[in-house]
């Protein structure tokens, strides 16, 4: 089934630990995105990639890094997790700069 | 910062009634998109309206856009219990911009 796959679906993590959230798409979309969703704040863009080999910072990039080695994969890394990074993380992709975005079902991350 | 702001924050209606949700934004846009999010799932794209369009239909959905007022509305006609979800507007701004800026959403409950 075509779409976005995120892993893990949920995780509890101790503060200070390193964590990588995985995102894979099979739609050959050029652009990919990472958002966090917090209650009362909606979705906020963390990082994005317009095409393989390039990345950019979104609204809330601090504490996160991304890489885009190929078209399909766009991992998000928390180098040293902090409790304020507790959130639901969504990966998305789109095939054009202004078109609809397709979302995964999210990773629910709790930092203790 | 949030570009779009949905109104109301929550809406409860009886099955068969129409539901109207509004979105206001702050800066000029290329297009405005509406998404639905069922509980525990990722966002699903519903409809995209370009800045030079005033109205668009898709099934039971009707979207209007008033760029002079920087506002949009989403009308769901003959609502069903399955329409229960959160609805988000998102704006794409700037030439070549890949980014969407999401509002905080309207939580719609359709009572059978």
pLDDT digits (tens, 9 = 90+) for A2-40: 799 999 999 999 999 999 999 999 999 999 999 999 987
Chain B CB within 8 Å of residue A46 CB = no
Higher-confidence position of A65 and B99: A65
Chain B CB within 8 Å of residue A4 CB = yes
Residue A3 contacts residue A63 (beta carbons within 8 Å) = no
CA B43 to chain centre: 12
Q: What is the pLDDT confidence band of residue B3, given thresholds at 50, 70 and 90?
A: low
The residues, any chain, with a CB within 8 Å of residue B27's CB and separated by 6 or more, are B3, B91, B93
Is B104 within 8 Å of A104 when comparing Cβ atoms?
Answer: no
For residues B22-46, give the mean pLDDT: 94
Assigned token pair, B24: 């206001």
Count Cβ–Cβ pairs < 8 Å, chain A vs chain B: 60
For residues A76-93, give the mean pLDDT: 97
Is B43 within 8 Å of A43 when comparing Cβ atoms?
Answer: yes
Chain B CB within 8 Å of residue A1 CB = no
Phi, psi of A25, deg, nearest 5: -125, 150
Which residues of chain A have a CB within 8 Å of the CB of B1?
59
Chain B CB within 8 Å of residue A60 CB = no
């Amino acid at each position: 089934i075509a779409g976005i796959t995120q892993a893990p679906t949920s995780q509890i993590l101790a503060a200070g630990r390193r964590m990588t959230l995985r995102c894979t798409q099979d739609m050959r979309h050029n652009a990919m995105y990472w958002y966090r969703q917090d209650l009362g704040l909606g979705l906020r863009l963390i990082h994005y990639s317009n095409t393989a080999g390039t990345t950019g910072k979104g609204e809330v990039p601090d504490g996160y890094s991304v890489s885009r080695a190929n078209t399909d994969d766009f991992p998000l890394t928390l180098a040293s997790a902090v409790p304020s990074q507790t959130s639901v993380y969504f990966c998305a992709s789109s095939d054009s700069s202004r078109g609809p975005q397709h979302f995964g079902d999210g990773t629910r991350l709790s930092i203790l | 910062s949030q570009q779009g702001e949905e109104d109301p924050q929550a809406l409860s209606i009886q099955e068969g009634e129409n539901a109207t949700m509004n979105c206001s934004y702050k800066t000029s846009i290329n297009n405005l998109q509406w998404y639905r999010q069922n509980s525990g799932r990722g966002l699903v794209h519903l409809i995209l309206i370009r800045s030079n369009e005033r109205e668009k239909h898709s099934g039971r959905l009707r979207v209007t856009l008033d760029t002079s007022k920087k506002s949009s509305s989403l009308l769901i006609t003959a609502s069903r219990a399955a329409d229960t979800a959160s609805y988000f507007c998102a704006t794409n701004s700037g030439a070549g911009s890949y980014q969407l800026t999401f509002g905080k959403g309207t939580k719609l409950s359709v009572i059978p």
